[in-house]
Structure 1
Amino acid sequence: MGLRDDLERYREVGEKRRQDLAAFIQYGDLGNSRRDAVRIPIKIVDLPEFVYDRRDMGGVGQGDGAEEGDPVGQPQPGDGDEDGDPGEEGGDHEYYEMDPEEFAQELDERLGLDLEPKGKKVVEETEGDFTDITRTGPSSTLDFERLFKEGLKRKMAMDFDEEYVREALRVDGWGPATVYEWARSEHIPVSRAWIENAYEDLPADERDRWASVEEMEASVEHETTAQRIRREGLEEIPFRSEDERYRYPEVVETPERNVVVVNIRDVSGSMRQQKRELVERTFTPLDWYLQGKYDNAEFVYIAHDAEAWEVDREEFFGIRSGGGTRISSAYELAAAVLEQEYPYSEWNRYVFAAGDSENSSNDTEQQVIPLMEEIPANLHAYVETQPSGNAINATHAEEVERHFRNSDDVAVAYVTSPDDVVDAIYEVLSTEDES
Structure 2
Amino acid sequence: MGLTEDRERFREAGETRREDLAEFISRGDLGGSGADRIRIPVKIVDLPAFEYDQRSAGGVGQGGDGQPQPGQPVEPEPGDGDEDGEPGEEGGDHEYYEMDPEEFARELDEALGLDLEPKGKQVVEEVEGDFTDTARAGPRGTLDVDEFFKRGLKRHLATDFDDAYVREGLFVAGADVDDVFAWARGEGIPVSRAWVADAAATLADERGEPVAALDRWESFEALDDGVDREPVTQRIRREGLDSVPFRREDERFRHPEVIEERERNVVVVNVRDASGSMRETKRELVERVFTPMDWYLTGKYDAAEFRYVVHDAEAWEVDREEFFGIQSGGGTRISSAYELVEELLEEYPYSEWNRYVFAAGDSENAGSDTRDNVIPTMESIDANLQAYVETQPGDGAANARHADEVESAFGDADDVAVARVSEPDDVTDAIYEILSTESSGGGSAPDGATVARRTDGGEHR
Q: TM-score per shorter chain, which class?
A: 0.5 to 0.7
Question: Which 4+ stretches in 1 moved above 6 angstroms?
Answer: 3-9
The reply on whether 1:76 has 2:81 as its aligned counterpart is yes
What corresponds to 1:289 in structure 2? 296
For residue 329 of structure 1, the aligned residue among 336, 343, 356 is 336
3-state DSSP of counterpart to 2:282: helix
Most deviating of 414-423 and 90-99: 90-99
Alignment root-mean-square deviation, CA: 3.2
Equivalent position amino acid for 2:415 in 1? D
Q: 2: distance between equivalents of 1:107 and 1:426? A: 10
1:58 Cα deviation from its structure 2 partner: 4.3
Give the paired residue count.
306
Rate the CA distance shift 1:333–1:46 in 2: closer, same or farther, 3 A. same
1:265 Cα deviation from its structure 2 partner: 0.2
Q: Percent identity?
A: 70
Rate the CA distance shift 1:381–1:77 in 2: closer, same or farther, 3 A. farther
1:15 Cα deviation from its structure 2 partner: 4.0
What corresponds to 2:380 in structure 1? 374
Rate the CA distance shift 1:419–1:434 in 2: closer, same or farther, 3 A. farther
Query: TM-score, structure 1 length as denominator?
Result: 0.64
Q: 2: distance between equivalents of 1:432 and 1:250? A: 34
1:93 Cα deviation from its structure 2 partner: 2.7
Q: 1: distance between equivalents of 2:429 and 2:318? A: 28
Equivalent position amino acid for 2:33 in 1? S
What corresponds to 1:396 in structure 2? 402
Task: After superposition, give the CA deviation of every residue in 1:78-126 in whole Å (9 maximum; x if it has no partner).
Answer: 9xxxxxxxxxxx9853100011111111111111111100211323456
Matches within 5 A, 1:206-221: none
Rate the CA distance shift 1:401–1:16 in 2: closer, same or farther, 3 A. same
The reply on whether 1:256 has 2:263 as its aligned counterpart is yes
Equivalent position amino acid for 1:76 in 2? G
What corresponds to 2:283 in structure 1? 276
Contact 2:15 2:44 in 1 (8 A): no
What corresponds to 2:413 in structure 1? 407
Query: TM-score, structure 2 length as denominator?
Result: 0.60
3-state DSSP of counterpart to 2:436: helix
Equivalent position amino acid for 2:53 in 1? D
The reply on whether 1:265 has 2:265 as its aligned counterpart is no
What corresponds to 2:124 in structure 1? 123
What corresponds to 1:30 in structure 2? 30
Q: 1: distance between equivalents of 2:70 and 2:296? A: 67
Contact 2:122 2:265 in 1 (8 A): no
The reply on whether 1:98 has 2:99 as its aligned counterpart is yes
Rate the CA distance shift 1:123–1:414 in 2: closer, same or farther, 3 A. same
What corresponds to 1:83 in structure 2? none
Rate the CA distance shift 1:301–1:59 in 2: closer, same or farther, 3 A. farther
Matches within 5 A, 1:7-406: 12-46=12-46, 51-54=51-54, 57-60=57-60, 61=62, 63-64=64-65, 70-71=73-74, 73=76, 76=81, 93-125=94-126, 253-339=260-346, 341-406=347-412
Contact 1:120 1:255 in 2 (8 A): yes
What corresponds to 2:207 in structure 1? none
1:46 Cα deviation from its structure 2 partner: 3.2
